[in-house]
């Protein structure tokens, strides 16, 4: 399939927020640090770029790094755009969604989840097309309690609790209107499922993957490095 053929048949845009500062992990921004051959952002873009239903990838980066990002993504595909992020993840996603000519469906994926594969993508895409809104999740297996700095408070029953991952998929109109409404209301959520489900719109749950690590804290980076050499050779 040539890239022109793909652009005629594909129906998914992808927005990849990558404009965060990585304050919890510190040091060089985690999405641009080398993990194996590439950085996490590039691993993500490569995972999406091989999919035949995807022909529009919008990377949202820090304003000052846009030309550098364009440069290191330039030889992957001709349908990658790079736009400037905002001061929160939600604002960065909004900026990505404001790009011209989104395709019918949109996937939103954090640049700091490099272990995204075709099977996970396939589950999310199928449910997105069927239901208009879908996201991967895995059940919470640990005991969960509220606590302060030093001691635990109340237990929280873990039945029915899920850790929600990305990529999250939506019909274009569903996600764009949810973002506009949240913006008007000054409402801030940690992910896109929370914006869409705010008014009772159901978001369909598909199986996430234990591999789909979100690199957040310093030990997540160590874990990602340890896992990567195995992952690359699967
Ligand atoms: N993100 C973004 N724009 C922001 C904040 C976050 O595009 N203003 C992106 C991050 O680059 C990351 C994803 O949203 O790909 C998830 O955010 P998170 O893991 O919280 O990353 P950071 O915000 O960079 O880290 P921290 O919260 O520790 O500062
Ligand atoms: Mg953050």
Confidence of residue 50 (pLDDT cuts 50, 70, 90): very high
For ligand 1, what atom is nearest to the CA of residue 214?
Answer: 19
- Between 3-17, 102-116, 136-150, the lowest mean confidence (pLDDT) is in 3-17
Pairing of strands 80-84, 54-61: parallel
Q: What percent of the chain has pLDDT over 70?
A: 99
Mean pLDDT of 42-63: 96
Mean pLDDT of 23-39: 96
pLDDT of res. 199: 87
Q: Which of the pair, 166 or 8, is modelled with greater confidence? A: 166
Q: Do 161 and 203 form a contact (C-beta atoms < 8 A)? A: no
Average pLDDT over the chain, rounded to an integer? 95
For ligand 1, what atom is nearest to the CA of residue 110?
Answer: 15
Question: Any idea which ligand is nearest the CA of 214?
Answer: 1
Question: Is residue 1 over pLDDT 70?
Answer: no
205-216 confidence digits (pLDDT tens): 999 999 999 999
pLDDT of res. 3: 67
Kindly list the domain boundaries of the chain, sorted by start residue.
3-229
Q: Do 208 and 140 form a contact (C-beta atoms < 8 A)? A: no
Mean pLDDT of 120-145: 97
Q: What percent of the chain has pLDDT over 90?
A: 89
Structure tokens at 145: 């309690």
pLDDT of res. 91: 98
Residue 89 Cα, ligand 1 centroid: separation in angstroms? 6
- Output the CATH code of domain 3-229: 3.90.550.10
Question: Is residue 2 over pLDDT 70?
Answer: no
Confidence of residue 46 (pLDDT cuts 50, 70, 90): very high
108-128 confidence digits (pLDDT tens): 999 999 999 999 999 999 999
Mean pLDDT of 85-96: 98
Mean pLDDT of 193-201: 95
Q: Against a cut of 0.75, is the pTM above it?
A: yes
pLDDT of res. 191: 98
Mean pLDDT of 86-109: 98
E strand spans, 22-181: 54-61, 80-84, 105-108, 133-139, 144-147, 152-156, 162-164, 168-171
For ligand 1, what atom is nearest to the CA of residue 216?
Answer: 19
Residues having CB within 6 Å of any atom of ligand 1? 17-24, 31, 60, 85-89, 92, 110-112, 216
Contacts of 119 (CB under 8 A, 6+ apart): 209
Cα–Cα distance for residue pair 126/167, rounded to 1 Å: 12
């Amino acid at each position: 399939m040539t890239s022109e053929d793909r652009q005629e048949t594909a129906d998914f845009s992808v927005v990849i927020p990558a404009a965060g500062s990585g304050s919890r992990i510190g040091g060089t921004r985690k999405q641009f640090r080398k993990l194996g051959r590439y950085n996490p952002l590039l691993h993500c873009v490569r995972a999406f770029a091989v999919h035949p239903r995807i022909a529009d990838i919008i990377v949202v980066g820090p304003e000052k790094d846009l030309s550098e990002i364009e440069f290191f993504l330039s030889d992957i595909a001709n349908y990658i755009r790079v736009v400037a992020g905002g001061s929160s993840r939600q604002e960065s996603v909004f900026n990505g969604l404001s790009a011209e000519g989104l395709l019918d469906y949109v996937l939103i994926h954090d640049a700091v989840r490099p272990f995204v594969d075709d099977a996970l993508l396939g589950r999310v895409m199928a449910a997105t097309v069927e239901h208009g809104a879908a996201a991967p999740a895995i059940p919470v297996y640990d005991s969960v309690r509220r606590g302060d700095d030093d001691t635990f408070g109340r237990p929280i029953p873990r039945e029915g609790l899920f850790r929600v991952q990305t990529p999250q998929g939506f019909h274009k109109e569903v996600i764009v209107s949810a973002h506009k409404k949240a913006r008007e209301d000054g409402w801030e959520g940690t992910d896109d499922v929370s914006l869409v489900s705010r008014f009772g719109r159901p978001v369909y749950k598909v199986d996430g993957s234990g591999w789909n690590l979100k690199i957040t804290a310093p030990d997540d980076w160590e874990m990602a490095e340890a896992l990567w050499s195995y992952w690359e050779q699967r």
